Structure 1
Amino acid sequence: MLFADKLGMPKKIKDLAESLDLEVTNHHDPEFDAKLCALIFGELTDKYPSYQELIRKIDDQPKTNNNYFNQPSEDVLEENEEHLSNYQITQNELENIDLIGKGIVITGNFSIEREEIKTFLMKIGGQIKSGITGKVDFP
């Protein structure tokens, strides 16, 4: 996915595979996704005469900043519309949530920058964790 990002291609495996005309039949199955990654890598290396040229091309490209992860797709919005309405809270309710000492992992797609989320959560007492462990209260 790093190669795709450096080349300005989609970063999500499903979107990237579809952009390369690869069939996606069992997305999120680890074995299928691993095979799909291998096929994607093969497609990328087919576009360049040698692996070394692909690596050189990737190393020469600045990392794209297309906000791909900050923009939820229409599918994601539709799938989560009911959840969004059921769990939507006001700014006042958000600021009054008791997170003092609670471990939080920030995952998913957001319409605002992660650093802004992290700053807010820490301001109201949350402890930001880098991964899921026994010390996480809100993954």
Structure 2
Amino acid sequence: MGRSQETFSKKEKEKKRQKKRQEKEKKREERKANSQGGSLESMMAYVDEYGNIVDTPPDPSQKEEIDPESISIGVPQKSEEDEDPTMTGRVEFFNHNKGFGFIKERDTKEKYFVHVNGLIDQIDEGDIVSFELEKGLKGMNAVRVTKIK
């Protein structure tokens, strides 16, 4: 007669699996017995005036009415009298063949790139010009450039 196909280690593994199943079933039954479940009110949560989560509803007498029109979202709009967008400066360099140059602003001494497409008047090096700034790919560009002197 041959030996049984079940070895000692197979029997031990099967016992462990059986034990795990029983423990899992026992835990499931405990959770089922201890779960409150119930109505919607028992599951509701509220936020008090300090931002804390509480289980009691807010007091209606403490309610404060807020006008939705008074809430501003984002950056406040600039008024026209805030600042003049035109700046003045001197043309430091301009290459007519390639169609670009640089303007040095009078107050801050910053240099701004200018392209021939941003010109209103014909300009040369050393001219005093007025211009506006516009965001470009590599920084601020001078646009709407007009010659003053």
Measured against the shorter chain, the TM-score band is under 0.3
Higher relative contact order (CA 8 A, sep 6+): 1
Which protein is richer in strand relative to its size? 2
Which protein is richer in helix relative to its size? 1
TM-score (norm 2): 0.16
TM-score (norm 1): 0.17
